[in-house]
Chain A
Amino acid sequence: MKQSAAQISNTPDKKKPVIEKATDENKNKKPAVKAEDVVKEITSIKNGPKALKLYMEMCAKCGTCSTVCPVYYGEDNKKYNPAERSDLIRSIYKKHSTVSGKLLGGIVGARDYKEGELEEWAEHFYSCTGCRRCATYCPFGIDNSVITRKGRSIVDKFGLTPKTMQKIVQISLETCNTDGASPEAFKAAIEFLEEEMNDEHGIDIKIPVDQVGAEYFYVPPSGDVLVNSEATTGVAKVFYVLGMQDKWTMSSKCFDGANYGLFTGNDANMKADNKPYVEEAKRLGCKVLFMGECGHAYRVMKMMMEPGKWWGDLPFKIINCMEFTADKIKAGKLQFDKSKNSQPVTYHDPCNFGRSCNIVEEPRIILEASCQDFREMYPNRGENWCCGGGGGLSAMDDIYDFRMNVSGKKKMDQIRATGAKYVATACSNCKRQLSQLMEYYKEDISVGGVHDMLSRGIIINGKAADRKEY
């Protein structure tokens, strides 16, 4: 089975928590950083977006964000204080774009850009997970993730984006998936999954590929096909039980909804990464773009691309697979043998599903239907703590130490408190971060998807999957 791109490109180097600087080989591509160019990027905020402009002008430095930030919880280091990080940009904006900053300088918190400072920005802006928990609690509604993304976009503009991230974006733009997997490799993986389901149930459960005219076009993160594939078999089983085997399809070209342009702050890359998926959906003539268990992929499609009309009006609607399945469970159309999932199970709300998309009840409906002992973790839903690998950090093994000891610390505490033996979550990045946390802290807790539990417990032709080990 294939490894994820991050695993291929970087082996964990536990002694080196700092982000790798761009190497000599791509030095030529990297433009020299001129102070005035950086300042120009920052002063452009004057013209919007409105939210970012407001955030530049109205932080009261009350410190509330630091009490709700998973990174600052992990280590109360000044550089991890969200208001401090956001001030990297804010103070320069004040100096150059506000009357008071120009006249009064330091008295109103304005300062100029320091030569060479941008090199450090990569580390600073890649130590925020963009989880938006601060936005939930800030008395002024300031969303620091927006400032972080702006910071990353400036870093990216000057070629200073951490290598791991650059590579993933590049691979994804070239191959339409973050693993760099070919259509053949994908098809082989799908065949393997079909065989597995045959082993489990003794019948043929199809995963249709490239079926033009299918109603539902399923787009998971590639990890849910190549690495943690049970979520995809779960979806296939749902369609089978509903008698909709010929009503859905996957694409051998577009099978990874992940979009790292969201994480690097590069809007052009984000759109370029998104476009083939919309075109493929049109080509297949689907009525529903059926997004898998990937929070940020769903957010980019549902909350950014569609309302932002990137590609005009769409001939299909966008839903998430968990919404679909939860609806069918509520309608009594799916039955489960809960004894197949007897261990205590908890759910980790991915930030992009919870806070950004409000997909919070659906996974719970699925888990409660398919598991014997479902337990909440506290706080949860829109108030949940980030796994510590948000904003793409999960894919960066060059900051493995930071993710284990700082950003993921709170999550580990939270999971331990539930006593669960299985953490379900609907996000490939969360899954990777959480699995690494369990290994690092030597906890005997498995990590997987939501439809994984469904896949193990769903009753097909009178009985659930027959498997001894997972």
Chain B
Amino acid sequence: MNVLAMFIGGILPYVAVFVFLGGMIYRFYVWFKTPQPGKMTLFPAPSSTAGSIISEALLFPSLFRSDKVLWIFSWVFHVTLAVVFLGHIRVFTGLIDSILMAMGISGEGINWMSGTFGGAAGIVLLATGISLLIRRLLLKRVREISGVPDFFALLIILAIIITGDLMRFSGTHFDLEQTRVWAQSLLTFSPEVPKSAAFQVHVLLSLLLIMFMPFSKILHFGGFFFTNALIKRR
């Protein structure tokens, strides 16, 4: 195993987890304790704050009312992202497979599901991600407020999507067993990193993104709950 691979697959994951958790906990802690003199009122207000935050998080109704085109791209993009995130749990552990098999689904069935839904998700993610990039470039009102961080975030996510799709669709770059061994080995602090280059690039970019999150605008997935709790309540 060469040094670079060892760094990407054997050291960086720990650093990333540390930076991500540390960063997020710090941000949440600071937001939580920052004082807010007086409530902010904004109407029409929902009858329940919790209900409105949940519906806002799952369906983006505010965005739906203002920009339907962005809503469809954005909503599909985020939902697919969630699906892909869940799919990755299966990549790292055999546990999901065992549960599915216990429910009477065969190994072949699981692979078919993974290929169909995972494959579709990979394509949808790529398509909506590119649409969001094109939108940012094309619309004057969005382009004029876009800066380096906005393009950087989109491009790194797109690069992760592309390397992910490459692994799935090329058929040669990805080895499920090796990936599970890697995930397991990380837990026992004796990393064994798969050799595929596409895999290593995918992991490297993903870890960079994860570390970048608490310090970038992708933070909106956390801050969202704080702002909505603040403003939508009477």
Binding site for B on A (CB under 8 A): 47-51, 53-55, 57-64, 66-68, 72, 76, 78, 81, 83-84, 87, 98-100, 106-109, 132, 135-143, 146, 303-304, 307-308, 354-358, 360, 381-383
Contacts and interface: CB of A to CB of B under 8 A. Distances in A.
A143 B34 contact: no
A244 to B, nearest CB: 30
A360 B142 contact: no
B134 to A, nearest CB: 13
Given A66-B141, A137-B63, A307-B38, A58 B43 contact: no
28 contacts: A50-B31, A50-B34, A50-B35, A50-B230, A53-B34, A54-B31, A59-B217, A60-B150, A61-B217, A62-B142, A64-B67, A66-B141, A78-B145, A81-B141, A81-B145, A135-B231, A137-B65, A139-B56, A141-B56, A141-B228, A143-B231, A303-B39, A357-B41, A357-B43, A358-B43, A381-B44, A382-B42, A383-B65
A6 B216 CA distance: 44
B233 to A, nearest CB: 11
Contact of B150 (A61, A143, A354): A61
B149 A57 contact: no
Interface string B19-47: 00000000100010011111111111100
Contact of B142 (A58, A61, A99, A354): A61
B70 A62 contact: yes
Nearest to B30: A53
B146 to A, nearest CB: 6
A356 B67 CA distance: 23
Interface residues of B, number: 49
B34 A64 contact: no
A81 B144 contact: yes
A384 to B, nearest CB: 11
B219 A356 contact: no
A61 B67 contact: no
A140 B42 contact: no
A68 B64 CA distance: 12
B149 A354 contact: no
Nearest to B26: A99
Q: Counting chain A CB atoms within 10 Å of each CB, which of B31, B45, B150, B215 scores highest?
A: B215
Contacts of A54: 31, 223, 226-227, 230
A78 B74 CA distance: 24
Contacts of A99: 215
B102 to A, nearest CB: 40
Given A107-B148, A141-B230, A49 B34 contact: yes
Given A57-B223, A63-B70, A140-B228, 20 more contacts: A48-B36, A50-B35, A58-B224, A61-B146, A66-B141, A72-B141, A81-B141, A83-B145, A99-B215, A108-B148, A136-B62, A137-B66, A139-B60, A140-B224, A141-B56, A141-B230, A303-B39, A357-B41, A357-B43, A358-B45
A58 B224 CA distance: 8
Nearest to A55: B227
A107 to B, nearest CB: 5
A382 B43 contact: yes
B99 interface: no
B232 interface: yes
B152 interface: yes
B39 A58 contact: no
Contacts of A57: 27, 219, 223
Given A107-B148, A354-B43, A64 B70 contact: yes
Interface string B126-159: 0000000000000111101111111010000000
Contact of B66 (A49, A59, A64, A107): A64
Contacts of A48: 34-37
B31 to A, nearest CB: 6
B88 interface: no
Nearest to B139: A63
A355 to B, nearest CB: 6
B149 to A, nearest CB: 5
Q: Counting chain B CB atoms within 10 Å of each CB, which of A51, A59, A307 scores highest?
A: A51
Given A62-B70, A64-B70, A81-B144, A140 B215 contact: no
A308 B38 contact: yes
B226 to A, nearest CB: 6
B220 A50 contact: no
Contacts of A78: 144-145
Contacts of A50: 31, 34-36, 226, 230
Contacts of A72: 141
B220 A140 contact: yes
A48 B40 CA distance: 14
Contacts of B220: 58-60, 140
A308 to B, nearest CB: 4
A109 B153 CA distance: 12
Given A67-B66, A132-B42, A381-B44, A49 B219 contact: no
A276 to B, nearest CB: 21
B42 A136 contact: yes
The 6 closest A-B pairs by CB, nearest first: A63-B142, A100-B215, A137-B66, A58-B223, A50-B36, A141-B227
Contacts of B36: 48-51
Q: Counting chain A CB atoms within 10 Å of each CB, which of B60, B70, B220, B228 scores highest?
A: B220
A107 B228 CA distance: 27
Given A51-B231, A53-B31, A357-B43, A138 B141 contact: no
